């Protein structure tokens, strides 16, 4: 096997990290609009309650982000120059329903995305669209408690059906919920959840997760009814866990950690709750209210493909005090002594991507799609105003080699690869601009200063070469940039 000639190469962004224009075009306020830059960004208790409005002394990067709201035509032209076959993006829920429970959608918001999709089609770029990428309307958080409330299912399904019908024929590939397992790690980001004092937080998170799973299944059903050609995927924050030692307890801890994420995909891909999750609820006194008919909804509407993000693997131990801790994509980890790390402490593990691909394909036997992968790094302009980001090229090169091995040697069915943050954008975890992933540099700093001017990095020309050769030419030796 080799990569199919129709393999979907491209890049990925999210509306709340790149659009800006949060008060324009009839858009309503969303949770990430009120997530500041800095250490308070992801606080889920008292600090988060305070930040349901903007306070003096904080910088809120989503307000302008990289101003793609006004610059998307120029950005898409750059994506086309790289040769993108697909562009993964998300729709801002509050551009379509400003409050979330509105009776009618906002036409200006609908038209905005229609224009984007038509611009992409002009260049032969297929949109891959996430319906909910960490976006929860602020009104639904304040009025209903966000995803903890079952009413969210109806609000989400109405939103999903609206855009599925409006963009029929323009969008073939859809994802229902971005990194759905982040609900268990960053519940405000993943579901707009603000905890009350002394409540059972795990129970709240799993109840919210159940509502998302039912909503996802109903949206999948609607999509297939509206257009049988639509392909709907789920989306996992991926990366396998390694046992720190060969102690049997460490091996089982790694299996348990993997199951925590696979739980969501087991439901979305297989159509039922796995036994290990039901036993966990029983064991930990987690009472998830499931209404009559929910089981049938989940069983009737499984996804067509499985997408995931991959940045790093994790290492776990039943004796964590024995080892140094490090960081990752919303996940803590023990430092793996066999792996290098990025500037943010994320362990760099291309072989882990091949392992993840094999594990998921063995588990589900459905097509896979890598929709996020990349290296966050501080990029420095040289005296000629250029960026030689060979470190980024090397990271992505090694991961492309790994995915090719998974396809060509192991026989994994892989639809495509979209590098995360193909243009520099606001970091979801820290709100930083200095944590850059892009092939395109954006003149914007962590405090919102800069011109928004775009410029091509060395990796821009390298990725163009990769796409032109369908992943065969991964060398950067002869690049002229």
Q: What is the pLDDT of residues 403-442, one digit of tens each?
A: 999 999 999 999 999 999 999 999 998 899 999 999 999 9
Residue 352 has pLDDT above 90, yes or no: yes
What gap in Å lies between CA 264 and CA 13, rounded to an integer? 22
Q: Are 363 and 262 in contact (CB under 8 A)?
A: yes
- The pLDDT of 461-475, averaged and rounded, is 97
Q: Are 4 and 417 in contact (CB under 8 A)?
A: no
Q: Could you report the per-residue pLDDT of 238-273, keeping only the tens digit for each?
A: 999 999 999 999 999 999 999 999 999 999 999 999
Inter-CA distances, 382 with 147, 233, 449, Å = 47, 41, 19
> Of 291, 372, 408, 472, which is the active-site residue?
372
State whether residue 414 is helix, strand or coil. Answer: strand
Confidence (pLDDT) at 277: 97
Percent over 70 (pLDDT), the chain? 97
Confidence (pLDDT) at 429: 85
Q: Could you report the per-residue pLDDT of 74-109, keeping only the tens digit for each?
A: 999 999 999 999 999 999 999 999 999 999 999 999
Residue 51 has pLDDT above 60, yes or no: no
In DSSP terms, 418 is beta-bridged to 10
292 catalytically annotated: no
Confidence (pLDDT) at 50: 57
Q: Both tokens of residue 58? A: 């904080």
Confidence (pLDDT) at 196: 85
Q: How many CB atoms lie within 10 A of CB 284?
A: 11
Percent over 90 (pLDDT), the chain? 85
Helix H or strand E encompassing 108? helix 107-122
Which position has the token pair 């995931």? 308
Residue 52 has pLDDT above 70, yes or no: no
Residue 374 has pLDDT above 90, yes or no: yes
Ranges of each domain in the chain:
8-469
In DSSP terms, 346 is beta-bridged to 327
Count helices and strands (H / E) in the chain.
Answer: 15, 14
Residue 46 has pLDDT above 60, yes or no: no
Confidence (pLDDT) at 47: 46
Confidence band, pLDDT 50/70/90 cuts, at residue 43: low
Q: Which CATH architecture fits 8-469?
A: Alpha-Beta Barrel (3.20)
Q: Which DSSP string do the residues of 259-315 spell out, in sequence order?
A: HHHHHHHHHHHHSS--HHHHHHHHHTT------TTHHHHHHH---SEEEEE-S--EE
Q: Could you report the per-residue pLDDT of 302-329, keeping only the tens digit for each?
A: 999 999 999 999 999 999 887 788 877 7
Q: Could you report the per-residue pLDDT of 201-217, keeping only the tens digit for each?
A: 999 999 999 999 999 99
Q: Which DSSP string do the residues of 30-64 spell out, in sequence order?
A: BGGGG--SSTTTT--SHHHHHTTS--TT---GGGT
To the nearest whole number, what is the mean pLDDT of the chain? 94
Strands 325-326 and 305-309 turn out to be unpaired
């Amino acid at each position: 096997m080799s990569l199919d000639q129709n393999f979907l190469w491209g890049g990925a962004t999210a509306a709340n990290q790149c659009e800006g224009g949060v008060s324009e075009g009839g858009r309503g306020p969303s949770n990430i609009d009120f997530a500041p830059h800095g250490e308070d960004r992801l606080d889920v208790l008292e600090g988060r309650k305070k930040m349901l409005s903007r306070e003096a002394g904080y910088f809120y990067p989503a307000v302008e982000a990289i101003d793609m709201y006004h610059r998307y035509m120029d950005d898409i032209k750059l994506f086309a120059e790289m040769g993108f076959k697909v562009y993964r993006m998300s729709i801002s829920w509050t551009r379509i329903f400003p409050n979330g429970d509105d009776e009618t959608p906002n036409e200006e918001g609908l038209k905005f995305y229609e224009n984007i999709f038509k611009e992409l089609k002009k260049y032969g770029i297929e949109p891959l669209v996430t319906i909910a990428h960490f976006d929860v309307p602020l009104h639904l958080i304040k009025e209903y408690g966000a995803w903890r409330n079952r009413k969210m299912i109806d609000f989400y399904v109405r939103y999903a059906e609206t855009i599925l019908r409006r963009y029929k024929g323009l969008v073939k590939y859809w994802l229902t919920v971005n990194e759905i397992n982040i609900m268990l790690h960053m519940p405000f980001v993943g579901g707009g959840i603000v905890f009350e004092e002394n409540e059972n937080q795990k129970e709240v998170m799993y109840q919210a997760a159940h509502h998302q799973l039912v909503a996802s299944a109903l949206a999948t059903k609607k999509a297939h009814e509206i257009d049988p050609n639509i392909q709907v995927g789920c989306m996992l924050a991926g990366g396998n866990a390694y046992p720190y030692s060969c102690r049997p307890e460490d091996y089982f801890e790694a299996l348990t950690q993997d199951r925590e994420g696979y739980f969501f995909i087991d439901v979305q891909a297989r159509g039922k709750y796995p036994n290990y999750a039901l036993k966990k609820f029983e064991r930990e006194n987690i009472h998830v209210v499931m209404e009559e008919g929910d089981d049938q909804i989940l069983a009737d509407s499984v996804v067509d493909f499985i997408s995931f993000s991959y940045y790093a693997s994790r290492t776990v131990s039943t004796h964590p005090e024995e080892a140094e801790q490090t960081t990752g994509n919303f996940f803590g980890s023990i430092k793996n002594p066999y792996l290098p790390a990025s500037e943010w402490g994320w362990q760099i593990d291309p072989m882990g991507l091949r392992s993840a691909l094999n594990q998921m394909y063995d588990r589900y036997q459905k097509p896979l799609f890598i929709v996020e992968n990349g290296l966050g790094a501080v990029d420095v302009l040289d005296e000629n105003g250029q960026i030689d980001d060979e470190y980024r090229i090397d990271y992505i090169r090694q991961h492309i080699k790994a995915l090719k091995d998974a396809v060509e040697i192991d026989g994994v069915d892989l639809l495509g690869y979209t590098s995360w943050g193909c243009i520099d954008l606001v970091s979801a975890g820290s709100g930083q601009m200095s944590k850059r992933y892009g092939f395109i540099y954006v003149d914007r700093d962590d405090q919102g200063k800069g011109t928004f001017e775009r410029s091509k990095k060395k990796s821009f020309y390298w990725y163009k070469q990769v796409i032109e050769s369908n992943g065969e030419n991964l060398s950067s030796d002869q690049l002229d940039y």
